Amino acid sequence: MIFLTVGTQFPFDRLVRTVDEVCENGFREEIFAQIGDTSYKPRNFKSVASLSKNMFDEYMKDASSVISHAGMGVITMALDNKKPLLVIPRLKKYGEVVNNHQVAIARKFEKLGHILSAYNVEELPGKLQQLKTFVPKIRENQAQAVANRIARFLQSLTNEPVR
């Protein structure tokens, strides 16, 4: 099952409609979608407006792969769950987001081999095919190193006289 999610804040009809069209044209894989509060209802797969945190986690865990906007939340979850992820960045020109930061994030993570990204709807069918065999590069974070740096800074402050 492919899990399609648009995140909790805004709908993302451009993504849902395009995936629906790809299915219409013969893409045969089970999809379950969380599409937000939106007017467009997909005809080729099941969808819900929203999911509880627990249900969301369940679908993420069970999914063979994930399709979503390029939100950092879902990218993080897909990486943590080691799921192949295909994103379409939300674009400012369609009023989907206030700036084009999702494009920059998608580019960066795609270049590093962690995700696939389609930058427009035309690219989506091809990328969906790629997703079937895509093996995401495991992301190693340095949270411990960053925390250590902050801890050292805090430690240096405690050695200063109290103001």
CA nearest neighbour of 101 among 111, 115, 116, 90: 90
Q: Pick between residue 18 and residue 34 the one whose CB is nearest to another protein.
A: 34
- Of 28 and 163, which CB lies nearer to another protein in the complex structure? 163
Angle between helices 53-62 and 72-80 (to 10 degrees): 50
Q: Give me the least distance between CB of 159 and another protein, in Å please.
A: 11
Q: Are 6 and 16 in contact (CB under 8 A)?
A: yes
Q: What letter would DSSP give residue 36?
A: -
Q: Is 154 in the site for another protein (CB under 8 A)?
A: yes
- Could you give the string, one character per residue 92-111, with x where binding to another protein holds by CB under 8 A and - elsewhere? ------x--x--xx-xx---
DSSP H or E stretch at residue 85: strand 85-88
List residues near another protein by CB under 8 A: 71-73, 75-76, 79, 98, 101, 104-105, 107-108, 139, 141-151, 153-154, 157-158, 163
